[in-house]
Amino acid sequence: MPPQPPAPPVFYSFPKVDVLQDSLANFVVKAQRDAVEKRGKFTIALSRGSLAANLKGLVGQENVQWDKWEVFFCDEAAVPLDSEDSNYHSNILSFLSDVPIPAGQIHTIDANLLDDLEELADQYEKQLIDHFAKSNAARYPTFDLMLLGIGPDGETASLFPGHELLSERDAWVAYLDDAPRGPKRRITMTLPVLTHCYRAVFVVSGNEKAEMLHAILDRPEEGLPCSRVRPASPGLVFFFADSEAAGLTNYPPTAFRWIDNEKEAEEAVAAAKRKAARRAAEEGEE
């Protein structure tokens, strides 16, 4: 039996950044509740860049089982953990330092290995193997939630357009020493890891991201790294955008609500497309 095609992306657009942040926090807490009920823990992977600032809505949330969280990082610069370039550090500043996740459940790179990128990537992959191999016999780790950003060229994590790492199929974590912007030396989870999670969520805000979001959702055939993150069944992918970032995108937005499975995602996207078609028809009659 051939594999089921991925569910369509679900696109949420919010009028302001603070509404986006509150809705994202609501979504993360629901994803946590779903994961704990089904698997007894919540595995989440966080990206670098502006994403961290949009997670501050998690601080002060009620009914969060912080002791069930296992936090990993989608990518990380080969820098000390207190560096401004560190993914870990940006997330500590934005929310991790304000919530009671046990320190042993926040999984960082080994800062003693910064001079050896290959060993740095291997050691972080071993952390994933130690955590996931005990409960997951699949080829790749299956995160409950991966929170991803959108870079200026359509990159996500540290997977850049045209880079050879986009073709990596064996390693869970790989390294690069030629990132086109920011710290050149990094490690990153590979595309197969991003496409085997239960839920992948892209978060984007600001009009400077409008053209790129338009390209990712409206021209997926161009194959930008963000467009390639289409989790295998039963995984789902979501885009959270404020009105400025969503301004150029034609892909129809769905009213924000919890979507639990592929069938609900397909129905929500189909309804959004019908609504957009009706609106276009009405405007054409005016």
Q: Note whether 138 and 145 are within 8 A (CB).
A: no
Give the per-residue pLDDT at 138.
Answer: 64
- Runs of H (alpha helix) within the chain: 17-39, 87-94, 117-132, 191-194, 210-218, 225-228, 262-285
Give the per-residue pLDDT at 215.
Answer: 97
Give the per-residue pLDDT at 59.
Answer: 86
Distance between first and last Cα of the chain: 49
Q: Kindly state the DSSP code that residue 156 receives in the 8-state scheme.
A: B
Rounded mean pLDDT of the chain? 92
**Rounded mean pLDDT, 238-255:** 96
**Separation between Cα atoms, residue 182 and residue 174, nearest integer Å:** 17
Domains delineated in the chain: 10-259 (3.40.50.1360)
- Runs of H (alpha helix) within 40-176: 87-94, 117-132
Tokens of 21: 């942040």
Q: Note whether 6 and 255 are within 8 A (CB).
A: no
The SS3 assignment for 188 reads strand
**Rounded mean pLDDT, 57-75:** 92
The SS3 assignment for 222 reads helix
Other Cβ atoms less than 10 A from the Cβ of 99: the count is 15
Query: Max CA-CA distance within the chain?
Result: 66
Whether the pTM exceeds 0.85: the reply is: yes
**Separation between Cα atoms, residue 94 and residue 266, nearest integer Å:** 33
- Which pLDDT tens digit goes with each residue over 141-179? 999 999 999 999 999 999 999 999 999 999 999 999 999
**Separation between Cα atoms, residue 265 and residue 254, nearest integer Å:** 10
